[in-house]
Amino acid sequence: MKKQATILHALIPILFLLVVLSVSIFYFGADPHIPLILAIIVAALVAKFMLNYSWGEIEEGILDTIRLAMQAILILMVIGTIVGTWILSGTVPAMIYYGLQILSPSIFLLAAALICAIVSLSTGSSWTTAATVGIALMGVGKGLGIPVGMVAGAIVSGAYFGDKLSPLSETTNLAPAMAGSNLFDHIRSMAYTTLPTFGLALILYGILGIRYGSANMDTGQIQAITTAISENFNISPLLIIPPIFVIVIVVLKIPALPGLIAGTVLGGIFAAIFQGASLADIIDAAHYGLEVETGMELVDNLLSRGGLDGMMWTVSLIICALSFGGVLEKTGMLKAFAMGILKIAKSVGSLVFATTITSILVNALTADQYLALVVPGRMYKEAYKERNLPPELLSRTLEAGGTVTSALFPWNTCGAYMMATLGVSPLVYVPFAFLNILVPIVNIVFSSLGIGYKKPTGE
């Protein structure tokens, strides 16, 4: 006879994961995949020997959870091809090139956030944005005498704005898969909270940057980037058409998979027209991505990415995270953890608050933003459904609590990456990462007021 899971049962695999992830990532520099697999084994052992579940039932839970995210996994694979063809076509280089043109000494912090937002929107990657343009902007900011915490905060805010809203982002696809919403409804719902919050962040950066407006700015690094891009790609404003095309797809509510596949095809056509790429080049870029050699390391790092193969690391990590969540859910361990919180979450606002806090805690405890989307998503999905709340409310809350706060913890993979890349501890830039701090708060307030989602009957 099966036993009912308790919070103590749930804590065994969760605490084990916390320990093994911390040791593996921070002491051995390992990826989180194997620690997750070890945690899956521990969770399965708890389910088997403490809760009396059979292996068949445990495996069923794993497969059911993975099955729910298969659309997101397929979309991620297509996104790999679209990034490859968009880089080859010059679309991504053009967006970066024109984004860098808006730099102005009088509004450096505001411009830094905008540039990073443009780059991350075009690439779907906060990490790539920080490791390329972010590094250049840190150098410029230091030359101007602007505090490094302010510069890093603006970079992180801009990078996560694009990472949160771009349909090319892994987390933007994973969150709706966990909540049961679709990609474009998810993005539209997030826009209600993310756009005004980013606008407020830009105002704050503008105010902070006024005192540095009279400084002389050394734009050598920025000029070197734009020169390297223009010397290796034929840059034209027409190359902005593919991302505009994807935006139109969002507005027209065309299904994500066929829409993004069309974006890949359009990128291939533009690669042939503007860069003279052959069919073999286009297929190679879609499959394997690009290895760009411009002679400038920053540009090479920024543009050497994409392709179907380039997404396999992320896809495998998501499958591992989903498997862990599947064991916890199937055996009732997630439910036991959630029920304690749900007892005090009576209103929509309190439910959204509980979801947000849970996502932040998972970020802090497991050091992985994917788990911060998967675990709370599986925990609270039924609660939102039972209260007739739309799934996009849950998916946007997962992003507000999980995606953007991952960069605020030095021991989280995202926070550690930003610290290593920008040379600034999250503890230093947290006060100035306005988007990352404010989005969870704004989402809770707006959700309590019924803004950006269809309120249930009688609410």
Residue 279 one-letter amino acid: L
pLDDT of residue 393: 96
Count of H helices and E strands in the chain? 24, 0
Residue 90, classed as helix, strand or coil, is coil
Residue 66 one-letter amino acid: I
**Torsion angle of the four alpha carbons 88, 91, 97, 103, in this order, in degrees rounded to the nearest 10:** -150
DSSP string, 95-114: HHHHHHTT--GGGHHHHHHH
pLDDT of residue 246: 80
pLDDT of residue 148: 92
pLDDT tens-digit profile of 436-446?
Answer: 999 999 999 99
pLDDT of residue 140: 78
Q: Is 105 exposed, middle or buried (0-12, 13-18, 19+ CB in 10 A)?
A: middle
pLDDT of residue 389: 94
Residues in the chain, pLDDT under 50: 458-459
Biggest alpha carbon–alpha carbon distance for the chain: 74
Q: Positive or negative, the Cα torsion across 337, 343, 345, 351?
A: positive
Q: Is 22 exposed, middle or buried (0-12, 13-18, 19+ CB in 10 A)?
A: middle
DSSP secondary structure letter of residue 345: -
pLDDT tens-digit profile of 73-128?
Answer: 888 788 889 889 999 999 988 888 887 777 766 788 999 999 999 988 887 889 87
Contact indicator for 144, 134 with CB cutoff of 8 Å: no
pLDDT of residue 83: 87
pLDDT of residue 284: 96
